[in-house]
Amino acid sequence: MLSILQRDARLLDFLMEDIAGYADDQVGAAVRELHDQCRDAVARYVSLQPVIDSVEGAFTTTPSTDPNVVKFVGNVPAQPPSGGILRHRGWRAAAVDLPVPSAHQDLTILAPAEIEIE
Amino acid sequence: MSVAATDAPSAARYVVGIDLGTTNSALAYAAIVPEPDPAASASVEVMPIPQLTNPGEVRDEDLLPSLLYLPGSADFPSGTLALPWDAERPFVVGRLAQKRGAENAGRLVSSAKSWLSHAGVDRTAPLLPFRAPEGIEKVSPIEASRRYLEHLREAWDARFPDAPLCQQQVLVTVPASFDAVARELTLEAAQRAGYERVVLLEEPQAAFYAWIERHTDWRQRVRLGDLVLVVDIGGGTTDFTLIAVTEQDGELGLSRVAVGEHILLGGDNIDLALAGTVSQRLAERGTRLDSRQLQTLWSNCRTAKERLLEPGSEATEEPVTILGTGSGLVGGTIRATLYREDIDRLLHEGFLPPVASTEMPARQRRVGLQEIGLPYAADAAITRHLARFLRQPAATAEHGAVRRGPSGLACPTHVLFNGGVLRAGLVRERLLATLDAWLADEGMPPAEPLAGEDLLHAVARGAAYYGLARLGRGVRIRGGIPRTYYVGIESALPTIPGLPAPLKALTVVPFGMEEGSDVRIPGQEFGLVVGEPAEFRFLASASRKNDQPGDLIEDFAGDELEELSPMEVALEAGEGASEVVPVSFESVVTETGLLQLWCVARDGRRWKLEFNVRERVS
Q: Report which of residues B289 and B85 the model is more confident about.
A: B85
Query: Which positions in chain A touch B321 (Cβ < 8 Å)?
Result: 29-30, 32-33
d(CA B437, CA B390): 14
Closest CA to B431 of B387, B467, B488, B396: B387
Q: Domain limits of chain A?
A: 1-48, 50-98
Average pLDDT over every residue of B6-23: 77
- Minimal CA separation from B203 to chain A, in Å: 33
Q: Cα(first)–Cα(last) distance of chain A, in Å?
A: 32
For B346, which DSSP code? Answer: I
Q: Report which of residues B199 and B434 the model is more confident about.
A: B434
For residue B410, is pLDDT > 90? no
Q: Report which of residues B518 and B351 the model is more confident about.
A: B351
Residue contact B323–A7, C-beta within 8 A: no
Q: How confident is the model at residue B140 (pLDDT cuts 50, 70, 90)?
A: very high
User: Would you say B373 and B130 are in contact if contact means Cβ atoms under 8 Å apart?
Assistant: yes
Residue contact B56–A101, C-beta within 8 A: yes
Whether cis (ω within 30° of 0) applies to the bond prior to B129 is yes
pLDDT tens-place string over residues B30-72 = 888 766 555 556 688 999 999 999 888 899 999 999 999 999 8
Q: Report which of residues B94 and B35 the model is more confident about.
A: B94
Q: Nearest residue on chain B to A4, judged by CA atoms?
A: B54
User: Would you say B125 and B142 are in contact if contact means Cβ atoms under 8 Å apart?
Assistant: no
d(CA B474, CA B42): 5
- Minimal CA separation from A12 to chain B, in Å: 8
Task: Identify the three-state secondary structure at position B319.
Answer: strand
Q: Is the dihedral of CA B383, B385, B386, B390 positive or negative?
A: positive
For residue B414, list its beta bridge partners.
B228, B448
**CA angle, B617 as apex, B613 and B618 as ends, to 5°?**
155
What is the average pLDDT score of chain A?
Answer: 86
Residue B320 is inside which H or E element, if any? strand B317-322
At a CB cut-off of 8 Å and minimum separation 6, what does B459 contact?
A: B17, B19, B21, B26, B173, B203, B206, B207, B210, B418
> SS3 letters for B484-531?
EEEEEEECCCCCECCECCCEEEEEEECCCCCCCEEEECCCCCEEEEEC
* pLDDT above 70: percentage of residues in chain B: 83
Q: Report which of residues B394 and B137 the model is more confident about.
A: B137
Whether the CB of A118 is below 8 Å from some CB of chain B: the reply is no
Whether the CB of A32 is below 8 Å from some CB of chain B: the reply is yes
Query: Which positions in chain B touch A102 (Cβ < 8 Å)?
Result: 56, 77-80, 82
Average pLDDT over every residue of B515-541: 79
What is the average pLDDT score of chain B?
Answer: 80
Residue B480 phi, psi dihedral angles, 5° rounding: -155, 160
Alpha helices (H) in B20-160, listed in sequence order: 95-103, 112-116, 141-159
Task: Identify the three-state secondary structure at position B352.
Answer: coil
Whether the CB of A40 is below 8 Å from some CB of chain B: the reply is no
Average pLDDT over every residue of B540-561: 76
Give pTM, 2 decimals. Answer: 0.72
Q: What is the pLDDT of residue B436?
A: 93
Q: Report which of residues B617 and B365 the model is more confident about.
A: B365
For residue B400, is pLDDT > 70? no
Residue contact A29–B335, C-beta within 8 A: yes
Low-confidence winner among B124-138, B205-219, B359-373, B508-522 (lowest mean pLDDT): B359-373
* Chain B residues 264-293 with a CB less than 8 Å from chain A: 292
Chains A–B, number of C-beta pairs less than 8 Å apart: 64
Whether the CB of A51 is below 8 Å from some CB of chain B: the reply is no
Could you give the maximum distance between any two Cα atoms of chain B, in Å? 110
- Minimal CA separation from B314 to chain A, in Å: 20
Could you give the maximum distance between any two Cα atoms of chain A, in Å? 70
Q: Which domains does chain B have, with CATH numbers?
A: 14-217+456-470 (3.30.420.40), 267-351 (3.90.640.10), 484-616 (no CATH)
Low-confidence winner among A22-26, A37-41, A95-99, B6-10 (lowest mean pLDDT): B6-10
Q: Report which of residues B602 and B500 the model is more confident about.
A: B602
Nearest to A30 among B82, B292, B330 (CB): B330
Whether the CB of B84 is below 8 Å from some CB of chain A: the reply is no
Nearest to B329 among A10, A101, A102 (CB): A10
For residue B363, is pLDDT > 80? no
Q: What is the pLDDT of residue B432?
A: 92
Residue A64 phi, psi dihedral angles, 5° rounding: -165, 160
At a CB cut-off of 8 Å and minimum separation 6, what does B319 contact?
A: A29, A32, B304, B335, B336, B337, B338
Low-confidence winner among A5-19, B359-373, B463-477, B578-592 (lowest mean pLDDT): B359-373
Average pLDDT over every residue of A57-84: 86
Q: What is the pLDDT of residue B478?
A: 41
Q: What is the pLDDT of residue B118?
A: 78
Q: Nearest residue on chain B to A114, judged by CA atoms?
A: B326
For residue B613, is pLDDT > 90? no
d(CA A13, CA A16): 5
* Chain B residues 54-73 with a CB less than 8 Å from chain A: 54, 56-59
d(CA A29, CA B604): 73
Phi-psi map region of B515: left, alpha, beta (phi>0 left; psi -120 to 50 alpha): beta
d(CA B329, CA B386): 45
For residue B364, is pLDDT > 60? no
Q: How confident is the model at residue B115 (pLDDT cuts 50, 70, 90)?
A: confident
Residue contact B80–A10, C-beta within 8 A: no
Residue contact B330–A102, C-beta within 8 A: no
Residue contact A101–B57, C-beta within 8 A: no
User: Would you say A111 and A6 are in contact if contact means Cβ atoms under 8 Å apart?
Assistant: yes
Residue contact B321–A33, C-beta within 8 A: yes
